[in-house]
Amino acid sequence: MNKKLLYSLVALAVVFFVVALVIFLSGSGAEKAPAGTTVPGAQREAVQADTVDLKLFFMDQSDWRLVPLTMRIPRPAVRTQLYREFLRLLLQPREGSRAPLPEGTSLRALYYLEADHILVVDFNQSLVTGFPAGSRSEMEFIRFIVNNICYNFREIHSVRFMVGGNEVKTLSGHIDLSRPFRPNFAYLKKDE
Amino acid sequence: MREDYTDGSMRYHTIIIGLLLLLPVTGLSLNVSVRSFDYQDHTRLVFEGDRSFAYSVAALEKGFELRLQEAARTDREDIQLAGDRCVQKVQPVPRHDGTVYRVETRTPVRFQRQFVLENPFRVVFDLAADEQSPPAVPSPPQEETESSPPSAGFMRINTVCIDPGHGGTDLGAKGSTSDLVEKDITLKVGLKLKRLIESRLGLRVVMTRETDAEVSLDSRAAMANNQKAQVFVSIHVNSSYRRGARGTETYYVSLEATDQEASELARKENAAVGGNAFDPAAADDLRLILWNMAQTEYIKESSKLATYIQNQLNDVMNTRNRGVKQAPFRVLMRAAMPAVLVEIAFLSNPGEEELLSRDGFLARVAGGIYTGIAQFITYHNQRYK
């Protein structure tokens, strides 16, 4: 009987080892996520339609809300590529549409934490080094990014910010960035 | 039957041992962090686990022991005693039957409250000095509810902390048509305000900086807490990507930024869009997170202080109907006292930039903030006398 127990234990240990190895290897090809986060399963999700309609909201000097600009783009093969393309369109300098962020700001990486419905967006250092200071500027930037993302991708419930691959306390000494931000669509101007 | 029983028992043991083998794979080992905050009348000590754990409490002459019935890991950097007025030391001691957290306090203490919070799992102790008797073991934990009475300090206000924003290499906002920088303006207003409070109210004033020095955000609140200030006023100058943005704004803390105009529309708009912004479950998460902030207990009083100051500054700026606002300002979140942040005016607005260059205007702003603080102190002292 002792032998039986021993064999069972060994067999169980081998099974656990194999399962752990499979889990480890299946995650090794994915984009590296921050410590304590889950690997985004949506990255491998196939999509059906050829194009996707997006509504990008920009600043308008005559309205306190962000005003919409509709775009249709080819749909990328995986969802995180769509998020990435959306942010690229949002950040790129555009005639007549203002984005509240410093020149040179670009996206370094993003991670979708599917279980928590959080998108982690990691910007380059220009975001901090070129930031104009002022709490209102920080709020304008945060609302711009969070509302745009959450309005277009309803599976994302909140957005967390990183800069240069690291967590940051604030952009320029005001709003705490240690927690994810939820959207407030009151800041978006709908189509008239 | 005997054979069946034995096989069943063996399977049972196999499962138990298998689960033990799984521990390193699934990360079920227990990590515990410890932190403390000093409040006016008590110290809050929080043990946070990366999962729930069973525990018991045993009183010591000066302090107590939190005894876990399993091994837990706590690195040195996991123990953050921002509140050191009461708690002297927290020492994790591994024992054969688990881990004991030995809490040593400077004087005998009593348990004002004890409760457990979930997501993440936390055991929270509110400790108050007790010179009379050794601490009694607290009653079994109860679920914290929103209706729990706040235990904000019932002391007369005698110390005010003024925090001139930015400083040193951190210039803050910059003028668009001049070389004005925020750090200089906030220091001028802060020093004027200090003189007014000392000379007219006779109160002690703690400054987070009195020169062009660089002070970290977290140190500012810690300074106020350690000096036992009962009011915290952070002074800033605003800047916006909208050149037309103007006016004074007074903030107290919240986890989400609100604007007067936006908050009026928010609920209707979010509901119309079908967003998740008012998901009740998520709202509950926010409530639990709020309990983690030192500022939580003082939000009502902070709102009152903000209102008094904003009303005065509306007069100075000749603006009307500008209410107070809320946003998750890092400098306010760790302040264990009524705390507000004043954005005097916008350096990005050429008209207000010109105003901010005048000493007379800055003196009027300091006077407005002073009157607001004085009104709050009168309200506070009358309420708690």
Nearest chain B Cα distance for residue A141, angstroms: 9
Report yes or no: B182 and B166 within 8 Å, Cβ to Cβ: yes
Q: Cα separation of B129 and B325, whole Å? A: 36
The predicted model scores a pTM of 0.64
**Contacts for B205-208 with beta carbons within 8 Å, 24 or more apart?**
B205/B159, B205/B160, B205/B161, B205/B162, B206/B159, B206/B160, B206/B161, B206/B162, B207/B161, B207/B162, B207/B163, B207/B164, B208/B161, B208/B162, B208/B163, B208/B164
Q: Cα separation of A152 and B16, whole Å? A: 47
> Does B287 score more than 60 pLDDT?
no
Burial of B75 (0-12, 13-18, 19+ CB in 10 A): exposed
Partners of B256 on chain A (C-beta within 8 Å) are: 181-182, 184
> Does B318 score more than 90 pLDDT?
no
- Say what the pLDDT of residue B128 is: 84
Give tens-digit pLDDT for B227-285.
Answer: 999 999 999 999 999 888 889 999 998 755 454 444 444 444 344 433 333 332 333 33
Chain A residue with minimum CA distance to B257: A139
Give tens-digit pLDDT for B45-85.
Answer: 888 888 888 888 888 888 899 999 889 999 888 888 876 77
Question: Which residues, other chains included, contact B40 with Cβ-Cβ below 8 Å and sequence gap of 6+?
Answer: B152, B153, B155, B228, B230, B336, B337
Confidence tier at A32 by pLDDT (50, 70, 90): very low
- For residues A25 and B125, the model is more confident at B125
Query: Helix (H, G, I), strand (E, B), or coil: what is residue B140?
Result: coil
Confidence tier at A14 by pLDDT (50, 70, 90): low
Q: Where are the alpha helices (DSSP H) in B127-279?
A: 182-196, 217-226, 260-273
Question: Which residues, other chains included, contact B211 with Cβ-Cβ below 8 Å and sequence gap of 6+?
Answer: B167, B187
- For residues B116 and B206, the model is more confident at B206
Which CATH topology does B159-384 take?
Aminopeptidase (3.40.630)
Report yes or no: A159 and A148 within 8 Å, Cβ to Cβ: no
Nearest chain A Cα distance for residue B243, angstroms: 8
Report yes or no: B147 and B162 within 8 Å, Cβ to Cβ: no
Over residues B336-350, mean pLDDT: 94
A·B CB contacts under 8 A = 153
**Mean confidence (pLDDT) of chain B:** 78
Pick the CATH number of B29-133 from 2.60.40.3500, 3.20.19.10, 3.80.30.20, 3.40.250.10: 2.60.40.3500
Q: Which residue has the tokens 């909208």?
A: B242
Give tens-digit pLDDT for B144-156.
Answer: 333 333 344 457 8
Chain A residue with minimum CA distance to B342: A135
Q: Cα separation of B123 and B111, whole Å? A: 13
- Say what the pLDDT of residue A4 is: 67
Nearest chain A Cα distance for residue B200, angstroms: 31
Give tens-digit pLDDT for B10-36.
Answer: 444 444 444 444 444 444 689 999 988
Give tens-digit pLDDT for A81-135.
Answer: 999 999 999 998 887 778 999 999 999 999 999 999 999 999 999 999 999 888 9
Q: Which helix (H) or strand (E) holds B170?
A: none
- Say what the pLDDT of residue B106 is: 87
Q: Select the residue from A66, A137, A144 to test the B interface by mutation, using most B Cβ atoms within 10 A.
A: A137
- Say what the pLDDT of residue B37 is: 80
Report yes or no: B29 and B328 within 8 Å, Cβ to Cβ: no
Give tens-digit pLDDT for B187-227.
Answer: 999 999 999 999 999 999 999 999 999 999 999 999 999 99
- For residues B112 and B181, the model is more confident at B181
ipTM of the assembly? 0.73
Report yes or no: B170 and B182 within 8 Å, Cβ to Cβ: no
Residue B118, Cα to own-chain centre: how many angstroms? 19
Over residues A3-10, mean pLDDT: 70
- For residues A94 and A158, the model is more confident at A158
> Does B301 score more than 70 pLDDT?
yes
Nearest chain A Cα distance for residue B273, angstroms: 8
Tokens read off for B226: 């350690």
- Say what the pLDDT of residue A7 is: 74
Confidence tier at B96 by pLDDT (50, 70, 90): confident
Q: Is A3 on the interface with B (CB under 8 A)?
A: no
- For residues B80 and B139, the model is more confident at B80
- Say what the pLDDT of residue B369 is: 97
Q: Strand A107-113 vs strand A118-123: parallel, antiparallel, or unpaired? A: antiparallel
Q: Domain boundaries in chain B?
A: 29-133, 159-384
Chain B residue with minimum CA distance to A139: B257
